[in-house]
Structure 1
Amino acid sequence: MNLLIGKLGGLVFIVLGFLLAASGYRAASTGYMAAGIVLLAIGVALVVRKVLREIKTINGDGRQGVEG
């Protein structure tokens, strides 16, 4: 459940960041664009962190590849 909340939170940050950056671009507001880019970066970091943690949990040791 915690994994789902983390991914969902990351996706919300990505959507809000994109909307804020796009509206800042449209209004020629550097502050809104910068805030949107920061939110995008936070969202991407959250999603990547949760996915990597999920992969590590599935594999047991975090390694990927062919076993043998």
Structure 2
Amino acid sequence: MGGISIWTILIIWLIPIIIIAKSSRATGGEKVAWLLATIFISWFSFVFYLLLAPISNKETHQK
């Protein structure tokens, strides 16, 4: 048949989801939002995650 197999595509699609899920850059609802964005928008949201996460400053939440 040739071409890219479905397993290759699935693995490439899952990589950013796994990275975000294991990351400590975002927590709680923010992490869920990033995961949902990555699932539905894929690599574009993953690039934004790498550039922007965390959105809020953790020091302000700890006080």
Same fold, TM-score > 0.5, yes or no = no
The TM-score range, normalised by the shorter chain, is: 0.3 to 0.5
Question: Given the two structures, how large is their TM-score scaled by the length of structure 1?
Answer: 0.35
Q: Which protein is richer in helix relative to its size?
A: 1
